[in-house]
C-alpha cells in the first residue's frame, strides 16, 4: 500500500493542470486495473479526465478524486516521504491514500458484482464537469462510500454542510472625482452597503443557540471595483460563500440573496449564482454509520464538518452516503499534510466489510 501511495503522490495532479490530471488518471487506472482485474473507462469532459469501473448491476458506489490543490512542481518543496510511520507529500491525505485504500479494499472481495467505482478529476475546483456523472452513478443505489480523508482522530464524516456561491454585481455611474463627483453614483459605497447586508443574512436564517458546526455562514469573500483613483467607480463586485446544514436553510439564504436591493439612488444590484452542493444531512448517513459501528473491531466516532465533498451530490439524489472513509492523518491543503500509514490497512478492511455487507443485504 505504501508503494502504491508513493506512485500516486509522485505523479502530481494539480486541478488546474489538465495534462497533469490526465497523466495521473493513467497511473490511477493502472493501479485499479492491477487490483480489480479490469480496466476503467476514461471519461474526458471539457479536458478533465475521470475514471469509472462498473461491475454488474450497480448497487454500491465508491467515490473519490485524484486531483489535488497543489500546483505542479510542489514535490520539489514537499517531497514524498515515509518517516516514523508518517507519509507526506502533495495530496497524500486529500485524497490519494483514500484511493489506495479503496482499491486494496475491493481487491479483497471475492465478487465485485454490484460495485461502481468513480474517481473524478475536478473535485477540488467544484466538480463542474463531474457532478452530473456522480449524481447519475448514485441515483437509486443502496449506498455510496466516499473515500475523502477522515475528520480529526479518524472520525467518519456523517454530515457535511451544503455550499452556495454567489456573485453580487453593483452598477453605478462614473464621474470625475474632483470636478463633479455629485454627478456620479458610487458603486464602491453601494458595495459597502451590500457587504454589510450580506454579512447579516445568517442571523435571519438560524434559530438562536444553534451549535457552531450546524450554524449557517454567509461570508463576503472576493471584492473588486473601480477603474482609476480619480473616477467615481461605476462598477463593483462581491463574491459570497454560503455554508448550510440543511436544505431549508440553503433555500432561505437563496431567497434572501436574491432579495438584495440597492441603497443608493441610481445604483443597481444584480445577483447571480446559487446552490452548488446540497447538504449531506445526518439522516443520509445514520444507517451506514450504525452498520460501520457493528462491523468495526474498534469504536468509531463521527463528525459534522463545514467543508463539502462529492458526497453532497450522492446524498442530494437520495443515496445513503457515508463519508470520511479515507486516510487518517491531517493537514489537508496545508504544508503539514500527512497520513498515518498504520491506519491504511485498517480503513481498507472496514471499507471491504462495509461493501460486502451492503452487497449481502445488510442495512
Tens-digit pLDDT profile for residues 87-137 = 999 999 999 999 999 999 999 999 999 999 999 999 999 999 999 999 999
Total domains present in the chain: 2
pLDDT at 20 (0 to 100): 98
Residues 183 and 144 in one domain: no
H-state helical runs in 141-281: 187-199, 247-258
Residues 73 and 145 in one domain: yes
- How far apart (Å, rounded) are the C-alpha atoms in residues 164 and 161? 10
pLDDT at 241 (0 to 100): 96
Last residue of some domain: 277, 305, 339? 277
Q: Residue 363 above 80 pLDDT? A: no
Residues 105 and 20 in one domain: yes
Entry pTM: 0.89
3-state helix/strand/coil string of 116-132: EEEEECCHHHCCCCCHH
Q: Residue 15 above 80 pLDDT? A: yes
- How far apart (Å, rounded) are the C-alpha atoms in residues 126 and 138? 18
Last residue of some domain: 225, 257, 277? 277
Last residue of some domain: 233, 255, 277? 277
Do 311 and 63 touch, CB atoms closer than 8 A?
yes
DSSP 286-323: HHHHHHHHHH-SS---EEEESS--THHHHHHTT--EEB
Domain of residue 175, CATH code = 3.30.70.360
Which residue range forms the structural domain that includes residue 217?
162-277
Q: Tell me: the pLDDT tens digits for 323-344?
A: 999 999 999 999 999 999 999 9
- How far apart (Å, rounded) are the C-alpha atoms in residues 323 and 67? 18
Residues 255 and 288 in one domain: no
Share of the chain above pLDDT 90, in %: 95
- How far apart (Å, rounded) are the C-alpha atoms in residues 68 and 96? 9
Residues 138 and 42 in one domain: yes
H-state helical runs in the chain: 2-9, 18-36, 97-107, 131-138, 187-199, 247-258, 282-295, 311-316, 343-359
Q: Tell me: the pLDDT tens digits for 264-295?
A: 999 999 999 999 999 999 999 999 999 999 99
Q: What is the mean pLDDT of residues 308-317?
A: 95
Residues 141 and 192 in one domain: no
Residues 121 and 187 in one domain: no
Read off the pLDDT band of 259 (50, 70, 90).
very high
Residues 135 and 166 in one domain: no
Q: Quickly count: other Cβ atoms within 10 Å of residue 47's Cβ.
A: 12
Do 76 and 24 touch, CB atoms closer than 8 A?
no
Q: Please give the angle made by the CA atoms of 98, 142 and 163, to the nearest 5 degrees.
A: 60
Amino acid at each position: 500500500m505504501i508503494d502504491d501511495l508513493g506512485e500516486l503522490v509522485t505523479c502530481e495532479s494539480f486541478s488546474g493542470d489538465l495534462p497533469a490530471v490526465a497523466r495521473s488518471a493513467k497511473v490511477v487506472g493502472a493501479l485499479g486495473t492491477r487490483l480489480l482485474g479490469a480496466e476503467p473507462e476514461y471519461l474526458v469532459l471539457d479536458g478533465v479526465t475521470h475514471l469509472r469501473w462498473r461491475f454488474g448491476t450497480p448497487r454500491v458506489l465508491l467515490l473519490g478524486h485524484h486531483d489535488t490543490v497543489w500546483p505542479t512542481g510542489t514535490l520539489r518543496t514537499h517531497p514524498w516521504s515515509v518517516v516514523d510511520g508518517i507519509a507526506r507529500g502533495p495530496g497524500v491525505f486529500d485524497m490519494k491514500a483514500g484511493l489506495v485504500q479503496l482499491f486494496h479494499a475491493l481487491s479483497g472481495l471475492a465478487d465485485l458484482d454490484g460495485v461502481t467505482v468513480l474517481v473524478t478529476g475536478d473535485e477540488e475546483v467544484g466538480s463542474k464537469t463531474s457532478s452530473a456523472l456522480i449524481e447519475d452513478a448514485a441515483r437509486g443505489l443502496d449506498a455510496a462510500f466516499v473515500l475523502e480523508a477522515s475528520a480529526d482522530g479518524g472520525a467518519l464524516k456523517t454530515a457535511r454542510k451544503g455550499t452556495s456561491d454567489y456573485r453580487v454585481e453593483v452598477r453605478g455611474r462614473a464621474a470625475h472625482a474632483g470636478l463633479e463627483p455629485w454627478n456620479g453614483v458610487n458603486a464602491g459605497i453601494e458595495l459597502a452597503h451590500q457587504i454589510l447586508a450580506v454579512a447579516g443574512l445568517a442571523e435571519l436564517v438560524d434559530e438562536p443557540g444553534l451549535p457552531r458546526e450546524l450554524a449557517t455562514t454567509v461570508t463576503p469573500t472576493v471584492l473588486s471595483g473601480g477603474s482609476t483613483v480619480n473616477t467615481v467607480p461605476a462598477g463593483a463586485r462581491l463574491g459570497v460563500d454560503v455554508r448550510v446544514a440543511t436544505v431549508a436553510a440553503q433555500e432561505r439564504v437563496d431567497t434572501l440573496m436574491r432579495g438584495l436591493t440597492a441603497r443608493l439612488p441610481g445604483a443597481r444590484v444584480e445577483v447571480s449564482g446559487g446552490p452548488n452542493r446540497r447538504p449531506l444531512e445526518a439522516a443520509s448517513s445514520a444507517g451506514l454509520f450504525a452498520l460501520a459501528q457493528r462491523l468495526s473491531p474498534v469504536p468509531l466516532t463521527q463528525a459534522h464538518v463545514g467543508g463539502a465533498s462529492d458526497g453532497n451530490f450522492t446524498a442530494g439524489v437520495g443515496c445513503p452516503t457515508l463519508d470520511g472513509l479515507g486516510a487518517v492523518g491531517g493537514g489537508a491543503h496545508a504544508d503539514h499534510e500527512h497520513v498515518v500509514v498504520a491506519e491504511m490497512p485498517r480503513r481498507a478492511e472496514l471499507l471491504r466489510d462495509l461493501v460486502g455487507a451492503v452487497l449481502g443485504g445488510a442495512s
